[in-house]
Amino acid sequence: MSTIWLKNPLSIYTANDSDARGGIVISYGKIVELVALGQQPKTAFDDTFDAKNYVVLPGLINSHHHFYQTLTRAWAPVVNVPLFPWLKTLYPVWAKLTPEQLHAATQVALSELMLSGCTFAADHHYLFPQQLTDAIDIQVQASKQLGMRVMLTRGSMSLGEDAGGLPPQHTVQDIDTILQDSERLIQTYHDASSEAMVNIALAPCSPFSVTREIMHESAKMAEKYNVRLHTHLAETLDEEDFCLEKFGMRTVDYLESVGWLNSRTWLAHGIHFNAEEIQRLGQAQVGICHCPHSNMRLASGICPTMDLLDAGAIIGLGVDGSASGDASNLILEARQAMYLQRLKYGAEKITPELALNWTTHGSAKILGRGTNLGQIAEDYQADLALYKLDDIRFSGSHDPLAALLLCGADRAEHVMVGGKWTVKHGEVQTLDLDKLQADHRQAAKRLLQA
């Protein structure tokens, strides 16, 4: 692997405003030097990349998704409904997923993310019908072909309709099956190194779809193997009502009662917390993945990001599932986060830089990778997204970094993961996207006809 100097970028977003206007030097998959404006690298290099026309960001990091949902985007029966009826209508459809359909759905989600500038994505997969018990294994193979980093979470549903839960009974698994497979996946695939391409986490789906027992046991296993914990929490008022009725407590009390109120945990959505709960989440340094498109699509509410940050919680960003966010585009998600949060906190507080930080280092931290991903800094992994501002939508813009969000950038020109180009000139390098899209469209039709 050659040592390459990405030279003189148009603009570059670095950690702590470090001067890297002269570019960055990459060797063996890592950033080894930041070059000040007008300087030459001190590190010997054998190749250069002229970055004068590019805005350079750390690779974007998606901290919550459901890859399989690319097969049910913009489905008419659920276009205009909130979360609970949306789920009740879609659960029976998703339960018919085949291994081939999941593989295609995963690659479509990852390709779309990568084209937007994403280099690391977390997926929350909790559907394991009888024909799809090796779902995470399928996702590992699908991601390897793209050369993209993934945090694959072994989700679960164990509380079916017969026991007062939301999912149909045929979509749930028993606790022994869940825990045995969780342990197998950690031992087989989880890589704790700084250059890891695959991480595994444990992710019981939500309070309304799992038992307290699986939450307790998942927390014990996560501590034993030093992996992270993930779940949906406080997404809607319906969920809050469910917790009060089923468990006799609010969502954060429930989280603490099952051993999850700690820095190992990150939550999807995190909208409906009161002031006291926000303080407790902050003190425990829990991570919150803000999903603005999905929260607006399902009319769920607005995550109190700045209150959570002020309390000590960590904020990341996610596109959520492609049947609620509908698009797996992380740079557009950053733009939406900026605008939605300005409605709550004002334009002065919610800057483009803040939204980009949530999409990079914030997400890296809540996924446990904050010391090696999500920043352009020495000794960090060389995961980068390069954007051109030559489209008419950017004409007349003055601040290149702000222009990415304010003018609506939606596609990276080049993407690098671990020092290797995975997207060049807007094209994924490792897949035939035309064939993938054709296969995926057919898979989507078959799923709804099954």
Q: Indicate whether 443 pLDDT > 70.
A: yes
pLDDT reported for residue 2:
87
Closest CA to 290 of 353, 234, 212: 234
The boundaries of every CATH 3.20.20.140 domain in the chain are 60-366
Taking residues 235-264, what's their average pLDDT? 96
What span, in angstroms and rounded, lies between the C-alpha atoms of 368 and 364?
Answer: 6
Q: What is the mean pLDDT of the chain?
A: 96
Q: Are 126 and 155 in contact (CB under 8 A)?
A: yes
Strands (E), 28-159: 30-35, 47-50, 54-58, 60-62, 118-125, 149-156
Taking residues 121-137, what's their average pLDDT? 96
For 10, the enclosing helix (H) or strand (E) is none
pLDDT reported for residue 337:
98
Q: Are 291 and 319 in contact (CB under 8 A)?
A: yes
For 198, the enclosing helix (H) or strand (E) is strand 198-204
Residue 431's SS3 state is coil
pLDDT reported for residue 27:
97
Closest CA to 298 of 239, 210, 230: 239
Is this model's pTM higher than 0.95 or not?
yes
Question: CA angle, 445 as apex, 440 and 447 as ends, to 5°?
Answer: 90
Regarding the domain delimited by 4-58+379-428, which CATH topology (the fold level of the hierarchy) does it fall under? Urease, subunit C; domain 1 (2.30.40)
What span, in angstroms and rounded, lies between the C-alpha atoms of 354 and 57?
Answer: 13
Closest CA to 144 of 189, 206, 88: 189
What span, in angstroms and rounded, lies between the C-alpha atoms of 157 and 376?
Answer: 38
Both structure tokens of 235: 């997404």
**Burial (CB count within 10 angstroms: exposed 0-12, middle 13-18, buried 19+), residue 130:** exposed
Q: Are 232 and 272 in contact (CB under 8 A)?
A: no
pLDDT tier for residue 204 given thresholds of 50, 70 and 90: very high
Q: In what order do the strands lie in the sheet with 47-50?
A: 30-35, 23-27, 4-7, 47-50
Q: Are 267 and 289 in contact (CB under 8 A)?
A: yes
pLDDT reported for residue 323:
78
Q: Are 405 and 356 in contact (CB under 8 A)?
A: yes
Residues 6+ apart with CB under 8 A from 180: none
Closest CA to 322 of 116, 36, 53, 58: 116
pLDDT reported for residue 20:
96
Taking residues 281-288, what's their average pLDDT? 98
Q: Indicate whether 16 pLDDT > 90.
A: no
Q: Indicate whether 122 pLDDT > 90.
A: yes
Q: Indicate whether 296 pLDDT > 80.
A: yes
β-sheet bridge partners, residue 416? 384, 421
pLDDT reported for residue 1:
64
pLDDT tier for residue 185 given thresholds of 50, 70 and 90: very high
pLDDT reported for residue 262:
98
The boundaries of every CATH 2.30.40.10 domain in the chain are 4-58+379-428
What span, in angstroms and rounded, lies between the C-alpha atoms of 386 and 6?
Answer: 11
Proportion of the chain above pLDDT 70, given as a percent: 100
State the DSSP string of 363-413: HHHHTT-TTTSSS-STTSB--EEEEE--SGGGTT---HHHHHHHTT----S
Q: Are 182 and 211 in contact (CB under 8 A)?
A: no
What span, in angstroms and rounded, lies between the C-alpha atoms of 215 and 207?
Answer: 9
Radius of gyration of the chain (CA): 21
Which amino acid is present at 97? L
Q: Are 415 and 148 in contact (CB under 8 A)?
A: no
**Per-residue model confidence as pLDDT tens digits over 364-388:** 999 999 999 999 999 999 999 999 9
**Per-residue model confidence as pLDDT tens digits over 17-72:** 889 999 999 999 999 999 999 999 999 999 999 999 999 999 999 999 999 999 99
**Per-residue model confidence as pLDDT tens digits over 422-438:** 999 999 999 999 999 99
Q: Are 213 and 173 in contact (CB under 8 A)?
A: no
Taking residues 188-206, what's their average pLDDT? 98
Q: Are 356 and 57 in contact (CB under 8 A)?
A: yes
CATH 3.20.20.140 correct for 60-366: yes
